[in-house]
Amino acid sequence: MIVQDYREYLDDILVTEEDLRNRVAELGEQISSDYQGESLHLICILRGGILFLTDLMRQITVPNTIDFMVVTSYGTARKTTGQVRITLDLQENIQGRHVLLVEDIVDSGYTIASVLEFLETRHPASLRVCTLLNKPERREVDVPIHYCGFIIPNKFVFGYGLDMDEYFRNLPFIATVALDRYRPTNESG
């Protein structure tokens, strides 16, 4: 299988590597200040949030632990179905713990709303959301966002954990896609 070179459909670099590094450091400082004297349990929604989580947790100075969830609402499409499924649940008990949900992007709000509702049933001491990207133009469900890296326009993005048909999560920046120049992977070969 031949995968189309991302440079063929890269429209614009929306967030540079340097901007990411600086903003993640600022978020880590803010979170550390807000949780001073506490320990924090970070829950990452895989797969998109993994790069953000690893960079963020290195910037947080309060003691922290991590856990992971896999949640889907997209299936194979590029638009949410609104149907949220948890395909990997937490390994740790969060009852009585300060929990920070770390997400790559909040757009429609369906995924975060469902995950928050699900996690609340486990009685954490506190439950907050930290998202790298916030796309408020797409919001269909109101959700609380306590920490936000960047507010972005309603465009399809990839890089820094976000994929283009599962590829290019490894890019050190976040870019927008020119969909008119993109060929889905199954058509590239």
Domain spans, the chain? 17-155
Beta bridge partners of 167: 164
Identified catalytic residue from 107, 142, 165, 180: 107
What are the backbone angles phi and psi of residue 118, rounded to the nearest 5°?
Answer: -65, -45
**CATH domain 17-155 topology:** Rossmann fold (3.40.50)
Low-confidence ranges of the chain (pLDDT < 70): 74-82, 186-189
Is the distance from CB of 63 to CB of 35 less than 8 angstroms? no
Separation between Cα atoms, residue 95 and residue 100, nearest integer Å = 13
DSSP 52: H
Provide the pLDDT for residue 71.
85
Paired tokens of 33: 């200040």
What residue ranges in 73-120 does DSSP mark as E strands?
85-88, 98-106
Provide the pLDDT for residue 141.
94
Nearest Cα to Cα of residue 45 among 124, 130, 107: 130
Q: Are strands 126-134 and 98-106 parallel, antiparallel or unpaired?
A: parallel
34 flagged as catalytic: no
Provide the pLDDT for residue 189.
44
Provide the pLDDT for residue 188.
44
Paired tokens of 1: 């299988």
Q: What is the pTM of this model?
A: 0.89
What burial class does residue 156 get, using C-beta atoms within 10 Å of its C-beta: 0-12 exposed, 13-18 middle, 19+ buried? middle
Alpha helices in the chain (DSSP H): 17-34, 50-59, 110-120
